[in-house]
Amino acid sequence: MKALPGPDGGEEESKGDDKFSMAMDVTGFPPDSIKVQVLGNELLVSANHEVEHEGHYHAMHFNRQFVLPREVDMDSLTTRLDKEGKLHFEAKKRNAPALPPVRELKVLKDK
């Protein structure tokens, strides 16, 4: 598994050439407190959970942002929460267009 860039180090799991999967630990957060959004090729995950117990108030929250690989088909992205508190993401992979060649730009000075 390879750590993705991001504050919590979500884990990317390889499922061959046609699947992308990733998991992150969200232990302590019930499903209805977790919000997942897709913005372009970015995955935004946040959660807020508040508990009051015997006069003590406890609040937990987090925000995570992941830039997913270009070949991930964002329209096929699904998520599920397992019994161990791991939030799993799965998507199909597609053929990503090749990156354009490196191009150097000349810096012009204002007169």
- Give residue-wise pLDDT tens across range 22-73: 999 999 999 999 999 999 999 999 999 998 888 898 899 999 999 998 889 9
In this predicted structure, what is the pLDDT of residue 4?
A: 36
Task: Pick the closest to residue 80 from 28, 39, 42, 24 (CA basis).
Answer: 24
Tens digits of per-residue pLDDT, 82-108? Answer: 999 999 999 999 886 666 778 888 888
Residue ranges of domains in the chain, CATH in brackets: 19-93 (2.60.40.790)
Question: CB under 8 Å to 61, separation ≥6 — which residues?
Answer: 46, 47, 48, 49
Residue 6 clears pLDDT 90, i.e. is over it: no
